Amino acid sequence: MASPGLHQNLSQSQTLAPQIRQSLEILQAGTMDLQHLVQSAIEVNPVLEDVSESLSLQEMDEGNEDREKVDTSQEHFEELREIAILENRSTGGSYEDQERREYLMNSLVGQQTLQQSLLEQLEVSMADERQRDVVRILIGDVDDRGYLETPLSETAARFSIPLEEIEDARDRLQTFRPAGVGARDLRECLMIQLEQMLMHDSIEYEIVRLHLTALAKKQFTQITKSLRLTEEEIMNAAQRIAKLDPSPGSSFDGTNNPVVIPDIRFAKDESDEWHAELTNEYLPKVRISDAYKLLLSEGKEKGVRSYLKEQIREGRNLIKALDQRQETILAITEEIILKQTDFLEKGISHLHPLTMNEIADKIGIHATTVSRAVHSKYVETPHGVLELRRFFASGYTKVSGETVSNTGVRERIQQIIEDEDKKKPLSDSSIEKILKEEGLKVARRTIAKYREQLHILPSNLRKGF
């Protein structure tokens, strides 16, 4: 038996400084999430103030000027309250303070999205920093249902990451909650849920793995013959399968954040040239309060000065991170315009293949920074409001040498199916031939995959629709 004792172990690990972590969080946040993040910072840092409406305040009438005087008095009271806290003369906080903190915490919980939940789980996972970066990329590809619709091979090509690393990251993502998240299709989603329920060897698992299509068509006799079970056993298993969640991401209510607010607008200038412009319409304008700067210059108490210096430093870091976020988004979108002019002029079917590495190389940043910058960001275009990440996709080269993105191919497949004779729906092989005649060589299995991503049924189930 080993004797008890003290042991020292040396190990190396990467940790992100709070300032860098905050910058990454701000860069990745969508407009509405950023509003809450900045408002939270204002709530806890007394030297920050929101001056978004300062111009309109200057234009207010005489009656409102009296109210400004009251607000100034209130601001002075807040300054004195901060000093009292630092000198331990506070009574522990008023009911108003407590109410504000409760509102802050409730608002953070109420507004959580599926992606935020997954990122929180990632931060406490045991993955190394490299793997966490890859998982973050996949989280950006998770749709509202919780599915990974973008093929892993496309993601690997987009970021120049080995496919094996992407697959390992996918496996880790599929261990997160809600169960079934990170699946590529319904079958995998249900199988993940059953696996997490330790039902690998169950009848339900075999039905989902081998006979999900037959189950959807209620072809119970076919399943009983294949699995050599009674119809009653199959029916009971089917009822248990029906209790699984086919859309695990839907548990995060999308009505919490129903409004899509574009961060960028693509428009033509007076010279008829396309350019990107930041909307900035819903972002708070934050600055360091002059009153606290004055308080710092006049302060005599060492504790007060130290506290104010720290708060001002953190406030400036926040403002710098906000500016960097906007500059990065603008630089990325200006490059997108140069690559996707055909889309702007002709429509979504004319999107060209584009990778995040291409943009990263052009503006001198890392591809993962591009991924964070376009995450949950939207752009207003002549063809509607689109997610920025839709502009990034691999693609195909026609016989003529013209390149077409995967998005363009999917759009073409959808158009072909919309124009088909409903009494004689086109099979995937027929669509393959049509695309080949148009100069696009796309494998039949790829067409089937794109059709499923478009939520279009196979030809035998489309007949008569």
Question: Taking Cα atoms as reference points, which of 369, 299, 379 lies closest to residue 344?
Answer: 379
Q: In the numeric block, which tokens belong to residue 307?
A: 């506290």
How do residues 351-409 score in pLDDT, each as one tens digit? Answer: 888 888 889 999 998 888 898 888 888 898 888 888 888 888 777 766 666 667 777 78
How do residues 415-454 score in pLDDT, each as one tens digit? Answer: 899 888 888 888 898 998 898 888 888 888 888 888 887 7
Q: In the numeric block, which tokens belong to residue 236?
A: 């009971």
Local confidence band at 270 (pLDDT 50, 70, 90 cut-offs) = confident
Task: Provide the percentage of residues in the chain whose pLDDT is more than 70.
Answer: 77
- Examine residue 178 and say whether the peptide bond preceding it is cis (omega within 30 degrees of 0): yes
Q: Nearest-5° angle of CA 30, CA 149, CA 108?
A: 30
How do residues 311-362 score in pLDDT, each as one tens digit? Answer: 888 888 988 999 999 999 999 999 999 988 888 888 877 888 888 888 999 9
**Could you give the residue ranges of the DSSP H alpha helices within 299-366?**
302-339, 341-346, 356-363
Rg (CA), the chain: 28
Residue keyed to tokens 């509202």: 144
**Where along the chain do its domains lie?**
186-247, 395-462
Return the exposure string of 439-450: e unless at least 16 CB atoms fall within 10 Å of the residue's CB, then b. ebebeeebbbbb
CA 8 to CA 410: how far, in whole Å?
58
Tell whether the model's pLDDT for residue 85 goes beyond 60.
no
Looking at residues 154-159, what average pLDDT do you find? 84
Instruction: Tell me the pLDDT of the chain averaged across its residues.
Output: 77
Q: In the numeric block, which tokens belong to residue 85?
A: 């806290």
- 289-to-105, 276, 408 alpha-carbon distances in Å: 24, 32, 50
The per-residue pLDDT for 104 is 38
Question: What is the Cα 327 distance to its own chain's centre?
Answer: 19
Question: Taking Cα atoms as reference points, which of 345, 343, 329, 344 lies closest to residue 388?
Answer: 329
CA 59 to CA 65: how far, in whole Å?
10
Task: Give φ, ψ of 9 to 5 degrees.
Answer: -125, 130
Tell whether the model's pLDDT for residue 216 goes beyond 90.
no
CA 391 to CA 389: how far, in whole Å?
5
CA 389 to CA 386: how far, in whole Å?
8
3-state secondary structure of 217: coil
The per-residue pLDDT for 329 is 93
The per-residue pLDDT for 17 is 64
The per-residue pLDDT for 155 is 85
Stretch among 20-29, 102-111, 282-291 having the lowest mean pLDDT: 102-111
The per-residue pLDDT for 75 is 44
Q: In the CATH hierarchy, which top-level class contains the domain 395-462?
A: mainly alpha
Local confidence band at 259 (pLDDT 50, 70, 90 cut-offs) = low
Bridge partners of 396, per DSSP, are 404
**Torsion (CA) 66, 67, 69, 73 in degrees, nearest 10:** 150
3-state secondary structure of 300: coil
Identity of residue 44: V
Bridge partners of 183, per DSSP, are 147
Tell whether the model's pLDDT for residue 265 goes beyond 70.
yes
30 or 187, greater pLDDT:
187
Identity of residue 159: F
The per-residue pLDDT for 174 is 92
Identity of residue 352: H
Local confidence band at 149 (pLDDT 50, 70, 90 cut-offs) = confident
Strands 395-397 and 403-405: what pairing? antiparallel
**Torsion (CA) 106, 110, 111, 113 in degrees, nearest 10:** 130
How do residues 15-26 score in pLDDT, each as one tens digit? Answer: 456 777 788 888
CB 166 within 8 A of CB 156: yes
Q: Nearest-5° angle of CA 320, CA 327, CA 379?
A: 125
The per-residue pLDDT for 72 is 43
Task: Provide the percentage of residues in the chain whose pLDDT is more than 90.
Answer: 12
Local confidence band at 153 (pLDDT 50, 70, 90 cut-offs) = confident
Question: Taking Cα atoms as reference points, which of 172, 105, 96, 187 lies closest to residue 134?
Answer: 172
Burial (0-12, 13-18, 19+ Cβ within 10 Å), 133: buried
Identity of residue 132: R
Tell whether the model's pLDDT for residue 254 goes beyond 70.
no
Question: What is the pTM assigned to this prediction?
Answer: 0.54
How do residues 60-71 score in pLDDT, each as one tens digit? Answer: 344 344 434 434
The per-residue pLDDT for 205 is 92
